[in-house]
Amino acid sequence: MCDLSALPPLSEDQYLLNTPRVRSFVAEVRACVKRAASPAEACAQIGPLFEALLADPGWLPTAFQTDAPDSGMGGGIGQWLIFRAADRSLSLFSLVVPPGAMTPVHDHLAWGLVGIYRGNQDEEFYRPGAGRLEPVRRRPLAPGDFYTLLPPRDDVHRVRTTSPETSVSIHLLANDTGCVWRHTYDDATGEARPFRSGYVNAECLEA
Ligand SMILES: [Fe+2]
């Protein structure tokens, strides 16, 4: 569980949405990562690029904003891969959460940015402890709002749709998030369980 080496490299970068907008965003993100001395610095540099992507109304096709009744997240939640790096060090995906649905409390095991594209969500961060799950903060989010994930401090959260319409959030993470074995956390006991969400539109392609 959680063994990143279990995921072999892909033969090449994968663009499930292969457009100039996505390619230029990924190229700019990679330039930031190369320049940055730390994950926090990378997130700070990527922030304005991410903000511009969230504000751009035309780049994400309807298919990537559609719920998925049989997904690994449950509740009709769709996780649509947009891009992932061949070495699995970077992924970009949309998370589609129907009204009233929420993800399990989960971790990511990588730094990243999460922002709202459509609808409204609550971000809820937790600190797992012995026998419990301690709420750290909860904040309503509207389109254009985004936040950073910086493990180990800010890695465990839950996404909940609060709008009457489906919410769509964009996630940029420094791993192949849908394919790594990570964890969900029991609401009552804080107990961690192995978890792999998968993607609606891509396989994990293990060895
Ligand atoms: Fe998440």
Half-sphere exposure of 30 (CA within 13 A, CB side): 15
- The b/e string for 102-122 (b: 16+ C-beta within 10 A; e otherwise) is bbbbbbbbbbbbbbbbbbbbb
DSSP calls for 163-178 = SSS-EEEEEEESS-TT
What is the Å distance from ligand 1's center to 106 Cα?
A: 6
What is the Å distance from ligand 1's center to 123 Cα?
A: 9
The pLDDT value given to residue 174: 97
Residue 93: burial class (beta carbons within 10 Å; 0-12, 13-18, 19+):
buried
What is the Å distance from ligand 1's center to 70 Cα?
A: 18
What is the Å distance from ligand 1's center to 105 Cα?
A: 8
The pLDDT value given to residue 1: 43
Among the listed residues 103, 96, 56, 58, the one whose alpha carbon sits nearest the alpha carbon of residue 79: 96
What is the Å distance from ligand 1's center to 8 Cα?
A: 23
The pLDDT value given to residue 203: 95
The pLDDT value given to residue 2: 46
pLDDT in tens, the chain (207 residues): 445 447 899 999 999 999 999 999 999 999 999 999 999 999 999 999 999 999 999 999 999 999 998 777 778 999 999 999 999 999 999 999 999 999 999 999 999 999 999 999 999 999 988 888 999 999 999 999 999 999 988 899 999 999 999 999 999 999 999 999 999 999 889 999 999 999 999 999 886
What is the Å distance from ligand 1's center to 201 Cα?
A: 18
- Length of the chain in terms of residues written: 207
The pLDDT value given to residue 207: 65
CA–CA gap between residue 47 and residue 162 (Å, rounded)? 24
The pLDDT value given to residue 71: 78
> For residue 189, how many other CB atoms are within 10 A of its CB?
12
What is the Å distance from ligand 1's center to 143 Cα?
A: 17
What is the Å distance from ligand 1's center to 183 Cα?
A: 11
